[in-house]
Structure 1
């Protein structure tokens, strides 16, 4: 009797394996469109378990088409709300795995580049190349493939300013920078050719560039519209206040300026590019000093802004009048120096104190995760941040910090 009892689990296990094998064979014989429809009802954990049944299901379940619907619901998978894939070279299953770490705040923090004097650095990320301004120079760093690590020495340096670089922007062919010397420099990314655009008589606080259009804003209370073909501004717009931020609409038909809000006016204005006329202002009731420090177009009709009043705001430019439709408040009442969105559900913001980076889920009003990058008693703002599918890079006064979200992955196989 004892011998019979010990054999029962083995027989049951064999029978179970045969049943799973038979069901798997039947499942794999279904047409692809039917199989895709069935798998669309599974969550990421169930898909992961199914992929471990056999080689056939493994290869089918690992297809991007299977994970696309799930990826749209996760943070920073590179799938935008309009369906565009920002990182097509990375399998979606791998991105969903890393997205769990973004959501749970699991990452490894390092400071690959440090400097001894306090600066106001700025960042841009273009694929596998990171651009970082330090004083009057902008260095270009090749990120190590599959590691995301930043080497100590740049492979290229862009210079030409007599003072510190305040902001810079990238196009496919050029790097355009604005400095404390009042100059705008246009550097070719394909050769060593650079040229100077003169016009501002005080520091260029902000700058944006798309295609061949350049817009700059300055402490001299002007915004200027340039083209890559000219050395003088096409238009000069006299403002009532210092200009802290600018953003060009993806349609290239308009741009937005954010000012210091030292007057009793809205700090946000939309301008027509061709006529250089103010189309409208955004919002009302801003308190004095509620300057806008950063802004980003997520689409031609959606604009994110942040600044001294501690709020991230989403503006819908299709409404009449154009108005704020959502807002998120920094819980520690700190000014927000910079923001970036993933085009879907995630916002990353940099605070003015203690190097705090926060991650937000647009579907929630509360902060999702926060990271204090430095324990230095002398606090530093996060002046700029940029992220890829697996890394977030943040520039503080004395160091560049890297946050790697591939470590300690969740249980997706």
Structure 2
């Protein structure tokens, strides 16, 4: 019996023993074999070990619209740092921009406005002009988040604006006396943090906060747990307590603190939930830390130090093995493999004479977008992948 005549379930069992290179060679035998080898079910096990293939820690597929074999091709370029750099947008005034990515639409805040830009489906090139603009703040937009139906922004005017993504309706939430440094929203719940040393808990249907928590320190970052039962705050660490604390949503009470050895001023600037029980943080102390919330006491289990002792402004994760970080000097973006202690790749996006922090990062399976003070940078990893045909 020929290999191509075997039942498909038997053939899949055989293919499960092959590595990436062997599968590529086998796919060149004939059309029938190539058709079977190219299926996602064959590549799923292999894809779990590569960077940014969209297969998360629990097996969820983020980029299900892209064939897995193609994503494994791209993953080799992520690991080797093979990419094409470009600057789709520039502006003259120095800003603190923020980004969100929704499939083929990139949202970028510039001063008091947020623009929505189409990404071309094939080339992923950014259109020069936004097809929609969200406005309403009297000062600069500090942070904004996307939900399925709303864009929610916090500004230096202390206001939170909720914009409908399906109509022209928008409304404001007033509750902070100074700029809203951070916010997060999930399933109708909104949590905001401000320079006025308070955290606000909101719902989409209320104009005033459901609860206000006094923090006694400036709040730089917040993140709502995927379970929606708690949220995490990161403060400036200028007082005598840990900058990382977990809060119960219903009771508005502190559940626990994370870490006890933060030096004074080691504020936490970004927080990302990797899973309901894993948390990534970064900030002024130059470390990326992974916290395991299942342990008792909850503690840091892994950490990675920025080699040039720079503040880390932002992080992004593929929810599996890769972390991307943005530094405070020269627009340095680093890629980390959590299975290693050293940085995997780094990219300097600003010149030696004009230094800018990386304020925000966003990932797709093929691109990395970085917002600097005067420009938006794009790294395209679809460049001549080797080893897979």
Q: Shorter-chain TM-score category? A: over 0.9
CA deviations over 1:103-122 (Å, ceiling 9, x no partner): 00000010001000000000
What's the secondary structure of 1:68's corresponding residue?
Answer: helix
- TM-score, normalization by structure 1: 0.93
Quote the residue 2:82 is aligned against: 106
Counterpart in the other structure of 2:143: 167
User: Secondary structure, in 3 states, of the residue corresponding to 2:223?
Assistant: strand
Structure 2 equivalent of residue 131 of structure 1: 107
SS of residue in 2 equivalent to 1:67: helix
Match of 2:130 in 1: 154
Q: Give runs of ≥4 in structure 1 deviating > 2 Å.
A: none
Tell me which moved more, 367-376 or 332-341. Answer: 367-376
Aligned to 2:64: 88
Deviations 1:116-160 (CA, angstroms, capped at 9, x unpaired): 000000000111111000000000111100211111101100000
- Cα distance in structure 2, aligned partners of 1:117 and 1:55: 56
Shift of 1:410: 1.3
Equivalent residue, structure 2, for 1:3 = none
Greater helix content = 1
Residue 12 of structure 2 corresponds to 36
Report the counterpart of residue 332 of structure 2 in structure 1.
356
Q: What secondary structure, in the 3-state scheme, does the structure 1 residue paired with 2:117 have?
A: strand
Give yes or no for the alignment of 1:231 onto 2:207: yes
Q: Which structure's CA Rg is the greater one? A: 1
Residue matched to 1:181: 157
Partner of residue 217 from structure 2, selected from 238, 241, 263? 241
> What's 1:215 paired with?
191
**Distance in 1, Cα, partners of 2:150 & 2:357:** 28
For the Cα contact (< 8 Å) 1:264–1:287, is it kept in 2? no
Residue 402 of structure 1: aligned partner: 378
RMSD (CA atoms): 0.8
Counterpart position of 1:15: none
- 1:81: how far off? 1.7
| 1:199 matched residue in structure 2 | 175
Select which of 225, 228, 232 maps to 1:256.
Answer: 232
Give the 3-state SS of the residue equivalent to 1:185 in structure 2.
strand
Bigger drift between 130-139 and 370-379 goes to 370-379
The counterpart of 1:294, out of the listed 249, 261, 270, is: 270
Q: How does 1:331-410 map to 2 (within 5 A)?
A: 331-410=307-386
Q: Secondary structure at the match of 1:305?
A: strand
**1:307 alignment counterpart:** 283
1:76 aligns with 2:83: no
Tell me by how many angstroms 1:222 deviates: 0.2
Using the alignment, how far apart are the partners of 1:238 and 1:353 within structure 2?
33
CA distances 1:304-360 after superposition (whole Å, capped 9, x unpaired): 000000000001111111111110111110000000110111000000000000000
Structure 2 residue corresponding to 1:47, chosen from 14, 23, 27: 23
Look up the match of 2:251: 275
Scaled by the length of structure 2, what TM-score is found?
0.99
Deviation at 1:376, TM superposition (A): 4.8
Where in structure 2 are there 5+ consecutive unaligned residues? none
1:189 positional shift: 0.4
SS at match of 1:367: coil
Q: Which runs of 5+ in 1 are unaligned?
A: 1-24
CA distance in 1, matches of 2:121, 2:300: 40
Cα displacement (A) at 1:264: 2.3
Give per-residue Cα distances to partners, 1:181-223, cap 9 Å, x unaligned: 1000000000011101001000000010111000000000000
Provide the secondary structure at the position in 1 that maps to 2:65. coil
Is the partner of 2:333 in helix, strand or coil?
strand
1:1-55 C-alpha deviation (Å, 9 max, x unpaired): xxxxxxxxxxxxxxxxxxxxxxxx6111222222111111111111111111111
Checking the alignment, whether the CA contact within 8 Å between 1:316 and 1:325 is kept in structure 2 is: yes
